A and B are shown apart, each in its own frame.
Chain A
Amino acid sequence: MSDQILWFAARGAGVVALLLFTATTVLGILTTTRWGTAGWPRFLTAELHRNLSLLSLAFLAVHIVTAIADPFTSLGIAAAIVPFASSYRPVWVAIGVVALDLLLALIVTSLLRPRIGQGLWRAVHWTAYAAWPLALAHGLGAGTDAFSTWLLAVQAGCILAVALAIGWRLWAGGSNRERLPDVVAAGRRPGATPYVRRDR
């Protein structure tokens, strides 16, 4: 009976962690679009992104601990740290381990950003675009109910959410930084007015 509880807990925590990780990713992308309203200021997006990332890590911890404790999977602690150390579905668990490592790097560098500087932080943060799909893949391959309908629906929803966020980001644009030289250069043509009003 307790085996079942551990198994449910591991699956459940894993799914919740994936949902939170997806929401974190979506909010991170949203931050770069500079979207905001009077009722939902931009700093709220940034803060929520930060808080949900920590929450996803908490659920991830539960997922890992219960998965290891579950005698059915015969996973040792090593399996959670070293890729391919598990004998249970080694490839899929390894993918999860890599996703975990990347997530830890993302969170630690973010917490230490003032110390390590913007450049290093940015370089590491780009790996989020690798971490999230790896987490998704791990969910598809490592779980025993990976292809049940409801789980497939959840994962499809996650993919859709991130795809929409990326689409919006590409369409709405983000940083002004790349545009600055173009705006300056465009000024050499008389009559052109490419300056853009940013909505508050």
Chain B
Amino acid sequence: MIPRRRLHVDRIRCDGYGMCAELLPELIDLDDWGYPILRADVVPREFEGLARKAVEVCPVLALRLTAEPRRTPTPIARPAPASRSGS
């Protein structure tokens, strides 16, 4: 059985309470508006208890532990730096 050790934020439910970042500062940062930035989605063993607590305490149940990997970002961003000739 694949262990459920990846953090997943339901971005529509998330309302910026920030309790997840308080409990897991090593894994979760907050942006300028209080919304979580997952620095890493795989939860190391020693943080599993705290991760479960964070899932339980989220007032809107936006945080989940899942086995599925994060969606790979669309391969759109960050073109190779343009040549500077003339511009």
Q: Which residue numbers of A lie inside 8 Å of B, CB to CB?
A: 31-32, 34, 36, 41-43, 46-47, 113-114, 117-118, 175-177, 195-198, 200
Does B44 interact with chain A (Cβ within 8 Å)?
no
Q: Please tell me if the beta carbons of A46 and B61 are within 8 angstroms of each other in the complex.
A: no
Residues of chain B lying within 8 A (CB to CB) of residue A31 = 59
Does B68 interact with chain A (Cβ within 8 Å)?
no
Chain B contact residues: over half helix, strand or loop, or mixed?
Answer: loop
Flag B8-38 by CB within 8 Å of A: 1 or 0 each. Answer: 0000010111110011000000101110000
How distant is A189 from chain B, measured CB to nearest CB, in Å?
20
Q: Please tell me if the beta carbons of B57 and A46 are within 8 angstroms of each other in the complex.
A: yes
Does B67 interact with chain A (Cβ within 8 Å)?
no
How distant is B36 from chain A, measured CB to nearest CB, in Å?
12
Residues of chain B lying within 8 A (CB to CB) of residue A118 = 13, 60-61
Partner of B34, one of A46, A177, A198: A198
Partner of B30, one of A43, A117, A200: A200
Q: Please tell me if the beta carbons of B61 and A176 are within 8 angstroms of each other in the complex.
A: no
Q: Please tell me if the beta carbons of A200 and B18 are within 8 angstroms of each other in the complex.
A: yes
Nearest to B18 among chain A residues (CB) is A42
Nearest to A114 among chain B residues (CB) is B61
Residues of chain B lying within 8 A (CB to CB) of residue A176 = 15-16, 33
Q: Please tell me if the beta carbons of B15 and A46 are within 8 angstroms of each other in the complex.
A: no
Besides A34-B17, A42-B17, 18 new A-B residue pairs in contact (Cβ under 8 A), listed by A number: A31-B59, A34-B18, A36-B22, A41-B22, A42-B18, A42-B22, A43-B57, A46-B59, A47-B57, A113-B61, A118-B61, A176-B15, A177-B15, A195-B33, A196-B33, A198-B32, A198-B34, A200-B34
A114 CA to B60 CA in the complex, in Å? 10
Nearest to B12 among chain A residues (CB) is A177
Supply 15 A–B pairs (Cβ within 8 Å), ascending by A: A32-B59, A34-B16, A34-B17, A34-B18, A42-B18, A43-B19, A43-B22, A43-B23, A43-B53, A46-B19, A114-B61, A176-B16, A197-B32, A197-B33, A200-B34
